[in-house]
């Protein structure tokens, strides 16, 4: 039986500011080996109808770099009493509601989602903890989000 604190389910953990910077877009595009000019050339991006360099689809995964933390995932696990020696990252899903460009600033919100158990195929219970990071634009509209599932093996 897991010792994860289920009372954290469906609660907001923190809020932070997330600035999408040109230089970081370029660095990220280089890191993922994507040479698409919408990530490097502002004039080209604007010729494609964008306001500035386009944020790569997987770029939100770096949001943890803008949080005030040395090891954000470990801190989250400790907060809910998840045993890191038995935990794995189960999935990550990125949802984009619109294009995002350099120069935009978002309000990020980190939410715990559902916390639930399932019986594993090899026996033993597995505890699943969902976490979602939501990014709201200056009009308070959801622009993109990132959902993760962490699994503690029994």
Domain boundaries, the chain: 6-20+56-153
Joined tokens for residue 112: 């715990």
pLDDT, position 130: 94
pLDDT, position 77: 84
pLDDT, position 39: 98
pLDDT, position 93: 94
> How far is residue 15's CA from residue 11's CA, in Å, rounded to a whole number?
12
CATH architecture of the domain with residue range 6-20+56-153: Roll (3.10)
| Nearest alpha-carbon partner for 90 in 131, 45, 137, 49 | 131
Sequential pLDDT tens for the chain (154 residues): 578 888 889 999 889 999 999 999 999 999 999 999 999 999 999 999 999 999 999 998 887 766 677 777 788 888 888 888 899 999 999 999 999 999 999 999 999 999 999 988 887 889 999 999 999 999 999 999 999 999 998 7
pLDDT, position 45: 98
**By three-state DSSP, how is residue 9 classified?**
coil
pLDDT, position 138: 95
pLDDT, position 129: 92
With beta carbons less than 8 A apart as the criterion, state whether 150 and 2 touch.
no
Question: Who's near 139: CB < 8 A, 6+ residues apart?
Answer: none
> How far is residue 42's CA from residue 51's CA, in Å, rounded to a whole number?
8
């Amino acid at each position: 039986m897991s010792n994860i604190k289920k009372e954290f389910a469906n609660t907001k953990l923190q809020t932070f500011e997330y600035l999408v910077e040109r230089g970081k877009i370029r660095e990220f595009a280089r890191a993922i080996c994507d040479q698409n000019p919408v990530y490097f050339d502002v004039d080209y991006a604007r010729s494609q109808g964008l306001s500035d360099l386009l944020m790569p689809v997987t770029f939100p995964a770096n949001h943890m770099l803008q949080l005030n933390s040395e090891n954000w995932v470990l801190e989250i696990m400790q907060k809910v009493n998840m045993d890191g020696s038995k935990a794995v990252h189960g999935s990550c899903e990125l949802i984009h509601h619109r294009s995002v460009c350099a120069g935009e600033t978002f309000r990020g919100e980190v939410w715990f989602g559902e916390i639930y158990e399932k019986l594993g195929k090899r026996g033993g219970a597995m505890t699943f903890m969902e976490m979602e990071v939501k990014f709201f634009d200056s009009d308070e509209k959801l622009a993109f989000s990132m959902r993760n599932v962490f699994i503690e093996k029994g």
